[in-house]
Amino acid sequence: MLKLPTTIAPDWRVEPGLTDYETAIATMQARIAAIKAGNAKELIWLVEHPPLYTAGTSAKPEDLQDARFPTYAAGRGGQWTYHGPGQRVVYCMMDLGRPHGRVPAQDVRAFVHGLEDWMIASLAKFGVKGETREGRVGIWVVNGKAEEQKIGAIGVRVSRGISWHGMALNIHPDLSHFSGIVPCGIREHGVTSLEALGVSASMAEVDAVLAQTFGQVFG
């Protein structure tokens, strides 16, 4: 069972199996409505999806190079993203009208930076140095060939002051599936995973680390 620090305010839910994307969207929409109405707590929802591509609000049609998997208009910020087995997707439904640890209220940019810091802190627990890059949302690593590769994607949407969507961390997905798109519109750099970096970690181990490091940022 996932052990969570007692200081974490949101509910945490780890979804077993593979979650249909349309079901995930409907579930998030219902939850943010309940949070806004004061009928539910904030929620951190950890899922895996079957192979699919999602288009953010800035996605370019030409960046979908091979529609081998179902495609969805996500409505979040960003461009094309792949989701699939072996990738931990973390959906964050949080009330941005109040502060969360180091993230002040009403500051979407600071919230996105908080997600970046959270992923970086989690990667550090596995001995991986995650970094941000000016003009590129997400988390990057430098491999043994001195190549920059993306290991984590971030894309959020805010509705009625409540965040949804969130971030995706590549643990052991099939990296060849990313070749159907130009991930996040960036052609000059590839993608990687913990497995490709030589780190053997289970989904449960990553979940435990995410729970451990959440409070370092969001308090």
| Average pLDDT score, the chain | 91
Is the pLDDT score of 210 beyond 90? Answer: yes
Continuous segment of H or E residues that includes residue 12: strand 11-14
pLDDT of residue 186: 62
What's the sign of the alpha-carbon dihedral 172, 76, 185, 121? negative
Q: Phi/psi of residue 107, each to 5°?
A: -130, 90
To 5 degrees, how large is the angle CA 132–CA 135–CA 136? 50
Q: Are 141 and 130 in contact (CB under 8 A)?
A: yes
Distance (Å, whole) CA 8 – CA 76: 25
Distance (Å, whole) CA 64 – CA 178: 10
Q: Clarify whether 184 is annotated catalytic.
A: yes
CB neighbours of residue 134 within 10 Å: 4
Distance (Å, whole) CA 53 – CA 116: 22
pLDDT of residue 184: 62
pLDDT of residue 198: 95
- Residue range 44-56: average pLDDT? 96
37 token code pair = 């109405």
- Residue range 181-196: average pLDDT? 80
pLDDT digits (tens, 9 = 90+) for 104-138: 999 999 999 999 999 999 999 999 999 998 877 78
- CATH superfamily, region 11-218: Bira Bifunctional Protein; Domain 2 (3.30.930.10)
Is the pLDDT score of 53 beyond 90? Answer: yes
pLDDT of residue 12: 96
pLDDT of residue 187: 64
* Residue ranges covered by each domain of the chain: 11-218
Distance (Å, whole) CA 23 – CA 21: 5
Q: pLDDT: is 183 or 65 the higher one?
A: 65
Of the residues 184, 186, 194, 210, only one is catalytic, namely 184
pLDDT of residue 79: 85
pLDDT digits (tens, 9 = 90+) for 64-107: 999 999 999 988 878 889 999 999 999 999 999 999 999 999 99
pLDDT digits (tens, 9 = 90+) for 5-23: 444 479 999 999 999 999 9
Distance (Å, whole) CA 86 – CA 106: 33
Q: Are 214 and 44 in contact (CB under 8 A)?
A: yes
pLDDT of residue 5: 46
**Which residues, other chains included, contact 197 with Cβ-Cβ below 8 Å and sequence gap of 6+?**
128, 141, 143, 151
To 5 degrees, how large is the angle CA 143–CA 148–CA 154? 115
Is the pLDDT score of 2 beyond 60? Answer: no
- Residue range 163-189: average pLDDT? 87
- Residue range 53-63: average pLDDT? 89
pLDDT of residue 146: 73
